Amino acid sequence: MVYNSNYSMEDYNLVMKLRKKGLGARKIKRELENTNRNYITIGTITRWIYQNVKPFQFKIIEQLKEGYGNISKEKAYIFGVLCGDGCVSTNNLISLKVTDLDFAEEFSRCMEKVYGLCTDIHLRDGQITNMTKGKKGKDTYNWEKRSKLAHQDLSKYSDFKTETWVIPKEILETSDLSLKSAFLRGLFDSEGTARLKNKGHAYLQICSGNDSSLLIVKNMLEKDFDIKTSINYSQGDVMVLSSENYKYIKNFADKINFTIKRKKISLANALATYKRKGLARYDIEFKKKVLDLLNQGHSAYKIGKTLKFPYTNIYDFVKQRKRGLF
């Protein structure tokens, strides 16, 4: 840790002595100019005499962890979270306010791993607001830290504002899918969900108030992870990417998934309800017919409905053919 000299207690005591004579901040400033103390600013004098703030003889010059500028999986995850629930304020404050402790802990771990920034996670009681319709809201876990250097570094990649965030080009242009996966995991932890619509019919969704960047996310999911999604809009005209296809939801579970335990369990439970039994009773000719229909562009769901069998078995047919079993 590096230190640098700042205002001394002698400076402080002189200002307070002038204050006791009834002088205000501007008059004290003029008096100091006659004592070769021009370096004491009017803002500093104001804090000393009005806000009861005392000077430190030394101030800490901030240093971040070596290598913080490199792009790692932890930094990619931070990007994803900041494009969602996280916040980078203009006053150098980096923060996250969420209802899942494991989410806050993972963000905290990544911030310490990348930047060396450590701080406690604070639990805050839910408040009664207009949004909660007079009821107590959910308790939240809050991580926040002020860091000028970390703020400067993050600001090089995006402004991370709700409607204008962009995916950093270091993520978009990389061939390392682990970095893209970490970014998407952070974004889905913030804005994504996986639920059971009805037995054997789950859905995966992610939304954002930033249509242009979410469309790039859609392309990334399809191109890099074979996860196709459709576009819908919520009642508030917020764009939503969604998929109800077993194959794509399973690809998400295998290649990206969530950090949040609650969401991981929901995803696993939803996938487990798909019917995937009795593969042996389908003969080879039937399997070939099904795959021919699939190659013609028919969806697995439509094929299953037309031929009256669990359409999720089709993905096993595909795997069997790849392994040369028929």
At residue 5, the pLDDT reads 45
Does domain 190-272 fall into CATH 3.40.50.300?
no
The ranges of the chain with pLDDT < 50 are 1-5
CA distances from 135 to 97, 128, 298 (A): 19, 5, 48
At residue 6, the pLDDT reads 64
Domain range 73-188, CATH architecture: Roll (3.10)
Q: Give the pLDDT confidence of 75-132 residue by residue, as tens digits.
A: 999 999 999 999 999 889 999 999 999 999 999 999 999 999 999 999 998 777 666 5
pTM: 0.70
At residue 4, the pLDDT reads 40
Identify the residue whose tokens are 């996966």. Answer: 181
Contact 4, 61 (CB under 8 A): yes
Which percentage of the chain shows pLDDT scores above 70? 91
Domains 73-188 and 190-272 share a fold: yes
What DSSP line would sit under 137-196, residue for residue? ---EEEEEEE-HHHHHHHHTT----TTT----HHHHT-S-HHHHHHHHHHHHHHHEEEEE
Distance CA 13, CA 18 (A): 9
Helix (H, G, I), strand (E, B), or coil: what is residue 43? Answer: helix
Which percentage of the chain shows pLDDT scores above 90? 57
What DSSP line would sit under 19-40, residue for residue? HHTT--HHHHHHHHHTTT-TTS
At residue 135, the pLDDT reads 74
Domain range 279-322, CATH architecture: Orthogonal Bundle (1.10)
At residue 70, the pLDDT reads 97
Helix (H, G, I), strand (E, B), or coil: what is residue 325? Answer: coil
Element housing 242 (H / E): strand 239-243
CA 156 to chain CA mean position, Å: 17
**What are the residue boundaries of the structural domains of the chain, listed by start?**
2-61, 73-188, 190-272, 279-322
136 phi and psi angles, rounded to 5 deg: -65, 130
